Chains A and B, each alone.
Chain A
Amino acid sequence: MSRMPLVDYLVLDDEPHLVAAECTACGARYFDRRSACAHCGGVEFGSADVPTEGVLTTFTIVQFAAAGVEVPFVAGVVDCGGTSVRGNVVNTPPDPEHVTLGMRVRLTTVPVGTDSAGIEAVGYGFEPV
């Protein structure tokens, strides 16, 4: 296989999706490697598929960023069926006419680049439904 995900919580199968670590005690969801649950202190986690469609609950259009970061881009948070997800809004012009609060979006994959071994890294973003 010559593709790998940008982050561990992105699953690249026929239907790419995100997977969260879910606290078995309280249901809190996380995307990073966990030591314990920040909500209840539980230490057991299951894995939960996150819905691929959701609502854009906030965004910003970044015009000025650190060296090497391409601008402009839209950064936002998507409520995917009750799980908040950080991601960029892609495949639409980065302006407030095309990106609006409450718009419906769905997960899509975004190429990141190819390393010297020919392996392609693939990230994710959200595009308008």
Chain B
Amino acid sequence: MAENVWILGIDMTRFGRHKDKDTLDLGSEAALGALRDAGVGIGDIGVLAAGNLIGGNGFGQLLQKQIGQTGIPVYNVANACATGATALRVVVMAIKSGEVDTGLAVGVEKLSGAGLLTGNARKEEGGHWVRDGRYGAVAPLDGRVGTEIMPGVFAQIGMEYGYKYGGVDFELFARISEKNHAHSTLNPKAAYQKRFTLDEIMNDVMIAYPNTRPMCSANCDGAAAAVLVSETKLRTLSLEQQRRAVKISASVLTSDPWTEGCQVLPDINTLTRRAATTAYEQAGIGPADLDLVELHDCFATAELVHYDNLGLCEPGGAADFFRSGATWRDGSTPVNVSGGLQSKGHPVSATGIANVWEVATHLRGEAGPRQIEGARVGLAHVIGLGSACGVHVLERAAA
């Protein structure tokens, strides 16, 4: 039986614009914060997994040159928006394998002002048509054959749910965004802490129907890091460290299995369902046991489908589930009490560790005014388009 793995220390920077800090400043701040929170030093760390998509190659080693070059193995990981969760997963695997007893996972991104992250700007036309790429396309396809921008891709994913099950409209998606922005007012680490009315959300700039600007994740700067230990190692540490430690009862990473149409519009459902099912089995719990969930609401249209994918509601019942109030912070399954990616922000590689930080902070009873009282079990979910899905189930240490 492989070792249980625990979070010994975890930290995230405030998300938002950090004009005077670069990728290494932010990554160092989160990593040093996680070490301090864990009560260990860089010399105790046996493996480092590091994620950063925008800053170039070798981020992990550059980080070491700031916080400690101890000669340990570094895994620089990349998995789109699931990069942070992938870094965590790498450390979990290293500890479960028995090769190390303590490891550090870090994710960081500088994205303020980045605008749309996909979609190709058109080149000047003229000259001769030349077939290019695997479709033999003579001109860029973005805008001519569908859309490549993320707000548009995820809009279609939400609308597809509406086609299958009905009961879904623009206002429903806007109300999901209203919830997350309301939640963010209690989170001092959120990039935006502004409550919006439903009218304000629906009448804001339309990006890709039905996603208006506040219904899209906020590009921002931020970092998050976690120190993980084996259960054997944890039992040698102080009672205070053991009391604050958070158990990783499930750690799962999946990719998207083939389904009809999945290469036409990404299917983010299959891999999330597979990850959730496996995670519940690993943890020996069911969705009804969850006291809070942080899920990947990169767009309001995405949050809806993940209620269903994570089994929080009956199949096909996501719209009714949301309308029942279940996912507000005073509901039966609070979802994105941090404000979610729409208001907390989405510094891509940091996201998959920051949502674990949010859940862990509630399980420790340290979430202040936004604390979900008595939280014992929580789930953190991310999706990286392409696709990768990370699900972590966390449990409070027995008192």
| Interface set of A (CB-CB < 8 Å, partner B) | 4-9, 28-33, 38-39, 57-71, 73, 75-77, 82-88, 96, 101-102, 110, 112-113, 115-117, 119, 121, 123-124
Q: Is the CB of B128 within 8 A of A76?
A: no
Q: Is the CB of B138 within 8 A of A66?
A: no
Q: Is the CB of A64 within 8 A of B208?
A: yes
* Given A6-B138, A31-B135, A84-B264, A66 contacting B258 (CB threshold 8 A): no
* Interchain nearest-CB distance for B139 vs A (Å): 6
Query: A-facing mask of B251-294, CB < 8 A → 1, else 0?
Result: 00000001011011100000000000000000000000000000
* Interchain nearest-CB distance for A10 vs B (Å): 9
Report how many residues on chain B are interfacial, defined by Cβ distance under 8 Å.
50
Q: Is the CB of A32 within 8 A of B134?
A: yes
- Please give me the 9 A-B residue pairs with the lowest Cβ-Cβ distance, nearest first: A68-B122, A84-B261, A8-B136, A60-B155, A69-B143, A66-B119, A61-B209, A58-B160, A32-B134
A60, A88, A113: the one within 8 Å of B209 (CB): A60
Q: Is the CB of B137 within 8 A of A7?
A: yes
* Interchain nearest-CB distance for A87 vs B (Å): 6
- Which residues of chain A are within 8 angstroms of B249 by Cβ–Cβ distance? none
Q: Is the CB of A70 within 8 A of B143?
A: yes
Whether B126 sits at the interface, judged by CB under 8 Å, is yes
A to B CB contacts below 8 Å, 5 in the list: A61-B208, A65-B116, A73-B143, A77-B156, A84-B261
* Given A60-B155, A86-B265, A123 contacting B145 (CB threshold 8 A): yes
Whether B207 sits at the interface, judged by CB under 8 Å, is yes
Q: Is the CB of B128 within 8 A of A8?
A: no
| Interface set of B (CB-CB < 8 Å, partner A) | 116, 119-123, 125-129, 131, 134-139, 141-147, 149, 151-153, 155-157, 159-160, 162-163, 170, 205-211, 258, 260-261, 263-265
Closest to B131 in A: A8
* Interchain nearest-CB distance for A32 vs B (Å): 4
Q: Is the CB of B144 within 8 A of A57?
A: no
Determine the distance from Cα of A83 to Cα of B145 in the docked complex, in whole angstroms: 16
Q: Is the CB of A117 within 8 A of B135?
A: no
Closest to B120 in A: A66
* Interchain nearest-CB distance for B13 vs A (Å): 29
Q: Is the CB of B265 within 8 A of A62?
A: no
B119, B120, B139, B258: the one within 8 Å of A113 (CB): B139
Determine the distance from Cα of A6 to Cα of B141 in the docked complex, in whole angstroms: 8
- Which residues of chain B are within 8 angstroms of A84 by Cβ–Cβ distance? 260-261, 264-265
* Interchain nearest-CB distance for A71 vs B (Å): 8
Determine the distance from Cα of A70 to Cα of B119 in the docked complex, in whole angstroms: 12
Determine the distance from Cα of A65 to Cα of B129 in the docked complex, in whole angstroms: 23
Determine the distance from Cα of A38 to Cα of B262 in the docked complex, in whole angstroms: 10
Determine the distance from Cα of A32 to Cα of B132 in the docked complex, in whole angstroms: 11
